[in-house]
């Protein structure tokens, strides 16, 4: 099992997954593909999602017995980071969440999800900025990323003290709203009468899957801020004003140093969280490190991408220049699976004491 | 506490890391004076002398020095463990410039005669050193220093002024960076000189700082005659030598310990002031907590590098900036919630855990010393980000 890997083997395994990410996220990204998919329906390329399935990414975290690759969160975060650097629009993280859920209950369309043949979205959310799953039978399920491309939806529904799971085929009852990054969020009206009940009790599995999705989202944001800053540094080293390279100005140098520190803290926080979970942390210990990482990534992704626009000046405000794509992506992803404020509250609730 | 046998000094480096940590804990428990734990101010020689002499007597004084020179010969990884345990126990800093700065420099660049003359006297506590680097017009721009040493026969004649010389009133020797070539490029005309503080022409004047403490001094040199055999290393190579000595110890400037200490005191204060449960305060505290936790994680990545035997890059400057600015942000928050107590000179209610103004003042110089945070940002910009000019 992945958690037993030694430090060196883990580093090698992470290096391999980063290399393999190039199949979908080439070095420097494929910004033409990203731009071509913006504001289209479904906003991603189903063939690329299938490719992700073939490469074993959707089941990356699942045990081999369940059709997965049996890898740890260290590897999964490295992969998400590479995809974030290239702004890959395919909804891998929601697909992984669904895969974890189905593998945990041993039911439903797991094979089709893991192969990337079908996008199945877990429709757990009923209100903004929450990690709670009330499971109301009739409440619209909201904020479903890339919902127009989904073949079906999984609906958690509270029955007595438990959360059961239903599968509802796509078709009626879905509306969508476009998002800043060129994707969209869907709202689904549940229709339990036509849905299939596939599991009795998914509460614990779903809460774990949501936590992992929060961490992977953090890693995706890290990849994006890192790449946006690299572009910005290149710009600071070439752009001239007042007869000088603008990167020689101390005001800009210090801003750049501050951005670099935010990125370093974000990376340290995410890697610590992944390592803590790969070492087997559960319960509050798990929630504490994930909330730390997500609070950091949400806040720093916005700070870094904002500063990258500012450091570029006017060119950064044009849609044609790629750095703006990173800001728009951060606007959409920073608050997914809990905003910074939500995760700060949760962190304090589960980890009230300082260890001196 | 289980009795842990404390091995002979020469055996310490061979211990397995966790065992070594337990040995350090036992050593402190056995030897460290209780009344010196977590002192609110930097101690003077008369206060920390008993601890210094205890370390000397047990052979623990110089953890980083090679064994053949009387040190413990500890690896960087073990030195970090030692420091972590000292910090955890609240061990006060000693007058350690001879141990940390001069000793390693003499070991690396000194002649055999100099090693024999100076190292044993550090080990016995006979020589207490202070560091004469900064000058009134050479602070952040240290290479602009002007205190000059001119050779006259067998002696250098030193004239000039040093400032911010820590605990100079306690010291009987001082190591100096002096200008020995005024024509050369500023970094290339500097030499390294050892001076007996009893030499005629030296005047030491304490400076009272914002803590109302006389930790720093000015040291004046008026035709001070220094034997030329007190020059260490090559003439005009002092700058490179001093710089080469900035080793992995730089990591300690970024140790999150001060912030951890301050954060737990902030909580005690918030409870005392009745604001702990306020949602607004909770969010502020959570932000500080998360800065602290992520800084600890980042610090940990640098420690891991050292443990793997790698050397530190310029990016270690990040730790210093983050830790010192966090320490300040925490103490800023203390002042804001303390009401009129913020202005008290002494700890509130006589409780050392509620040392509001004291901690706030202590946090001020952290962003100035050891290379100001502005200089650290310049270093990051140029040496880590590769920005020009």
Location of structure tokens 């085929």 = A169
Tens of pLDDT along A79-111?
A: 999 999 999 999 999 999 999 999 999 989 999
Please tell me the distance from the alpha carbon of residue A319 to that of residue A317, in angstroms, as a whole number: 7
State whether B286 and A292 contact (CB < 8 Å): no
Domain B246-384 fold is: Butyryl-CoA Dehydrogenase, subunit A; domain 3 (1.20.140)
State whether A254 and B377 contact (CB < 8 Å): yes
Residue A266 forms part of a structural domain: yes
Domain coordinates of chain B in residue numbers?
A: 9-94, 129-237, 246-384
Nearest to A268 among B282, B298, B321 (CB): B298
Residue A301 forms part of a structural domain: yes
Complex-level ipTM:
0.90
Report the relative pairing of strands B190-196 and B173-179 from DSSP bridges: antiparallel
Out of A66-75, B38-47, B62-71, B331-340, which region has the weakest mean confidence (pLDDT)?
Answer: B38-47
List, in sequence order, every beta strand (DSSP E) within B167-286.
Answer: 173-179, 190-196, 202-207, 216-227, 231-232
Q: Which two tokens stand for residue A26?
A: 């080439």
Task: Tell whether B322 is within 8 A of chain A (Cβ).
Answer: yes
Q: Higher pLDDT residue, B252 or B54?
A: B54
Q: Higher pLDDT residue, B248 or A48?
A: A48
pLDDT at A28: 85
Alpha helices in A106-202 (DSSP H): 110-114
Would the pLDDT of B1 be above 70? no
A186 touches A236 (CB < 8 A): no
Would the pLDDT of A2 be above 50? no
Task: Tell whether B260 is within 8 A of chain A (Cβ).
Answer: yes
Tens of pLDDT along B187-217?
A: 999 999 999 999 999 999 999 999 899 999 9
CATH code of A304's domain? 1.20.140.10
B9-94 maps to CATH 1.10.540.10? yes
Would the pLDDT of A19 be above 80? yes
Please tell me the distance from the alpha carbon of residue A110 to that of residue A58, in angstroms, as a whole number: 10
The residues near B27 (Cβ < 8 Å, ≥ 6 apart) are B6, B58, B60
Would the pLDDT of A3 be above 60? no
In angstroms, the separation between the Cα of residue B66 and the nearest Cα of chain A is 30
Please tell me the distance from the alpha carbon of residue B179 to that of residue B189, in angstroms, as a whole number: 6
Mean pLDDT for A214-227 is 98
Would the pLDDT of B149 be above 90? yes
Confidence of residue B249 (pLDDT cuts 50, 70, 90): confident
The pTM of this model reads: 0.92
Mean pLDDT over the full length of chain A: 95
* A to B CB pairs, distance under 8 Å: 105
Best mutation target among B276, B281, B286 (most A Cβ atoms within 10 Å) is B286
Q: Which residues in chain B are contacts of A244 at CB distance < 8 A?
A: 389
Please tell me the distance from the alpha carbon of residue B375 to that of residue B372, in angstroms, as a whole number: 5
Count of domains forming chain A: 1
Catalytic site positions of B: 249
H/E element, A229: helix A203-238
pLDDT at A94: 98
State whether B297 and A264 contact (CB < 8 Å): no
Residue A309 belongs to domain spanning: 204-350
pLDDT at B47: 96
Report the relative pairing of strands A244-245 and A240-241 from DSSP bridges: antiparallel
Nearest to B283 among A247, A271, A344 (CB): A344
The phi, psi pair for A143, rounded to 5°, reads: 55, 45
The residues near A33 (Cβ < 8 Å, ≥ 6 apart) are A45
B129-237 maps to CATH 2.40.110.10? yes
Q: In chain A, whose CA is at the least distance from the CA of B373?
A: A254
Q: Is A292 helix (H, G, I), strand (E, B) or coil?
A: helix
Residue A214 forms part of a structural domain: yes
Give the B window 345-364 contacts with A, CB below 8 Å. none
B47 touches B36 (CB < 8 A): yes
Tens of pLDDT along A241-287?
A: 999 999 999 999 999 999 999 999 999 999 999 999 999 999 999 99
Confidence of residue B2 (pLDDT cuts 50, 70, 90): low
Tens of pLDDT along B288-343?
A: 999 999 999 999 999 999 888 888 899 999 999 999 999 999 999 999 999 999 99
Would the pLDDT of A1 be above 50? no
Residue A309 forms part of a structural domain: yes
Confidence of residue B271 (pLDDT cuts 50, 70, 90): very high
State whether A253 and B382 contact (CB < 8 Å): yes
pLDDT at A8: 83
pLDDT at A4: 55
Nearest to B318 among A264, A292, A355 (CB): A264
Residue A46 forms part of a structural domain: no
Would the pLDDT of A25 be above 50? yes
pLDDT at A210: 98
A260 touches A308 (CB < 8 A): no
Nearest to A354 among B263, B301, B380 (CB): B263
Residue A212 forms part of a structural domain: yes
Residue A60 forms part of a structural domain: no
Residue A169 pairs with which residues in a beta bridge?
A: A152
pLDDT at A356: 63
Mean pLDDT for B175-192 is 96
State whether B389 and A341 contact (CB < 8 Å): no
Nearest to A248 among B267, B291, B388 (CB): B388
Tens of pLDDT along B57-72?
A: 999 999 999 999 999 9
Cis check: omega of the bond before B220, within 30 degrees of 0: no
Q: Which residues in chain A are contacts of B287 at CB distance < 8 A?
A: 344
């Amino acid at each position: 099992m992945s958690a037993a890997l030694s430090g060196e083997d883990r580093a090698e395994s992470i290096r391999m997954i980063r290399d393999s990410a190039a199949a979908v996220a080439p070095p420097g990204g494929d910004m033409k593909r990203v731009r071509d998919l913006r504001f289209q329906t479904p906003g991603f390329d189903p063939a690329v999602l299938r490719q992700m399935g073939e490469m074993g990414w959707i089941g990356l975290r699942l045990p081999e017995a369940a059709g997965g690759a049996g890898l740890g969160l260290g590897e999964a975060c490295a992969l998400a980071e590479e995809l974030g650097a290239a702004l890959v629009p395919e909804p891998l993280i929601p697909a992984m969440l669904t895969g974890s859920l189905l593998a945990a209950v041993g039911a439903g369309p797991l094979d089709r999800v893991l192969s990337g043949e079908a996008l199945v979205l877990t429709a757990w959310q009923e209100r903004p900025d929450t990690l709670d799953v009330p499971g109301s039978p009739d409440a619209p399920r909201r904020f479903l990323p890339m919902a127009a491309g989904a073949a079906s939806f999984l609906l958690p529904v509270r029955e007595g003290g438990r959360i059961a799971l239903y599968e509802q085929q796509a078709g009626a009852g879905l509306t969508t709203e476009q998002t800043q990054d060129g994707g969209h969020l869907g709202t689904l009206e549940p229709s339990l009468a036509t849905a299939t009940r596939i599991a009795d009790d998914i509460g614990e599995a779903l809460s774990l899957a949501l936590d992992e999705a929060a961490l992977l989202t953090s890693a995706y944001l890290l990849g994006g801020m890192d790449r946006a800053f690299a572009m910005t540094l290149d710009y600071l080293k070439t752009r001239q004003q007042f007869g000088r390279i603008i990167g020689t100005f101390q005001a800009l140098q210090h801003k750049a140093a501050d951005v670099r520190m935010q990125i370093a803290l974000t990376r340290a926080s995410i890697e610590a969280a992944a390592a803590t979970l790969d070492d087997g942390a559960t319960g509050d210990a798990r929630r504490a490190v994930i909330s730390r990482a997500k609070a950091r990534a949400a806040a720093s992704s916005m700070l870094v991408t904002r500063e990258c626009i500012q450091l570029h000046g006017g060119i950064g405000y044009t849609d044609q220049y790629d750095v703006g794509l990173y800001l728009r992506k951060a606007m959409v992803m920073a608050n997914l699976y809990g905003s910074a404020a939500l995760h700060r509250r949760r962190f304090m609730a589960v980890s009230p004491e300082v260890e001196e | 506490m289980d009795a842990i046998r404390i091995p002979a000094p020469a055996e310490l480096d061979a211990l397995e890391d966790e065992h070594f940590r337990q040995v350090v804990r036992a050593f402190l428990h056995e030897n460290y004076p209780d009344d010196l734990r977590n002192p609110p101010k930097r101690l003077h020689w008369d206060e920390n002398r008993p601890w210094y002499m205890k370390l000397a007597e047990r052979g623990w004084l110089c953890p980083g020095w090679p064994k053949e020179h009387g040190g413990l010969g500890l690896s960087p990884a073990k030195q970090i463990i030692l420091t972590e345990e000292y910090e955890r126990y609240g061990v006060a800093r000693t007058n350690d410039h001879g141990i940390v700065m001069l000793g390693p420099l003499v070991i690396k660049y000194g002649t055999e005669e100099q090693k024999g003359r100076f190292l044993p006297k550090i080990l016995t506590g006979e020589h207490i050193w202070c560091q004469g680097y900064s000058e009134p017009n050479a602070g952040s721009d240290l290479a602009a220093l002007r205190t000059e040493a001119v050779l006259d026969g067998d002696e250098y004649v030193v004239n000039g002024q040093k400032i911010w010389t820590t605990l100079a009133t306690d010291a009987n020797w001082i190591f100096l960076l002096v200008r020995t070539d005024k024509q050369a490029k500023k970094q290339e005309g500097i030499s390294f000189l050892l001076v007996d503080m009893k030499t005629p022409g030296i005047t030491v004047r304490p400076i009272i700082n914002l803590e109302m403490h006389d930790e720093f001094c000015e040291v004046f040199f008026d035709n001070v005659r220094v034997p030329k055999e007190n020059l260490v290393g090559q003439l005009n190579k002092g700058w490179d030598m001093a710089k080469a000595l900035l080793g992995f110890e730089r990591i300690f400037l970024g140790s999150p310990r001060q912030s951890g200490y301050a954060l737990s005191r902030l909580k005690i204060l918030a409870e005392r002031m009745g604001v702990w449960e306020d949602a607004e305060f909770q969010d502020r505290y959570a932000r500080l907590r998360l800065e602290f936790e992520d800084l600890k994680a980042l610090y940990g990545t640098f420690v891991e590098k050292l443990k793997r035997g790698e050397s530190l890059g310029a990016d270690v400057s990040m730790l210093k900036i983050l830790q010192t600015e966090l320490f300040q942000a925490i103490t800023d928050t203390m002042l804001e919630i303390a009401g009129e107590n913020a202005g008290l000179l002494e700890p509130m209610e006589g409780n050392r855990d509620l040392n509001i103004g004291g901690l706030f003042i202590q946090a001020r110089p952290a962003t100035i010393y050891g290379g100001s945070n502005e200089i650290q940002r310049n270093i990051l910009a140029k040496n880590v980000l590769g920005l020009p000019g």
